[in-house]
Amino acid sequence: MASCFAISISYIMTQKYKVYINNKAKIVTENWKDFSDNYKVIEAAGGLVFNQKNEILMIFRNGKWDLPKGKLEVGESIESCAKREVEEECGVSDLKIIKKLKDTYHTYEINGEKILKKIFWYKMNSNSDGELIPQTIEGITKVCWVKGDEISEKMKNSFENIKDVLDYE
């Protein structure tokens, strides 16, 4: 029993996290609690959404191509958050979660406060063929379905954690 406990502690202490700081990957091998205690941690969820033509739903926000995502509300499940944020940011309905993808971490600063955002990503499908409506109050100016052969061009002006989500799938 004692040896199993030692293995568990060893695993926890050596677990690695990939965090994007200023859009550059840093592998955190130090104690995660010590690292994350330097930030206000915010949880969010989002979707890698495919339509019937196997196109990916993307948004253009604050000058960069991105995937729809947003902050978890009090009492909300992560899955509900992911679906709600896609609906709000893009005007897409009829969303079905297919599977959990991965979690990403990135940091930023707002009014001098250091933020560490953890995003739970889900693969989703939508049969919606309605008009896409960007949530302009969130800085989103475009929403579109992107064909597979157009993704690499969009990724030239995106965030590294978004590339990780697309590569994971």
- 143 phi, psi to nearest 5 deg: -135, 130
Locate the domains of the chain by residue range.
31-168
pLDDT value of residue 92: 94
Distance CA 41, CA 134 (A): 27
Distance CA 134, CA 127 (A): 18
pLDDT value of residue 4: 42
pLDDT value of residue 169: 62
pLDDT value of residue 31: 84
Per-residue pLDDT of the chain (169 residues; tens, 9 = 90+): 444 444 444 444 456 889 888 888 889 887 888 899 999 999 999 999 999 999 999 999 999 999 999 999 999 999 999 999 999 999 998 999 999 999 999 999 999 999 999 999 999 999 988 899 999 999 999 999 999 999 999 999 999 999 999 987 6
Q: What's the pTM? A: 0.86
pLDDT value of residue 14: 54
Distance CA 39, CA 110 (A): 11
pLDDT value of residue 29: 82
Quote the distance between the C-alpha of residue 105 and its chain's center. 8
- The DSSP bridge pattern shows strands 69-71 and 40-50 to be antiparallel
Q: Which fold has domain 31-168?
A: Nucleoside Triphosphate Pyrophosphohydrolase (3.90.79)
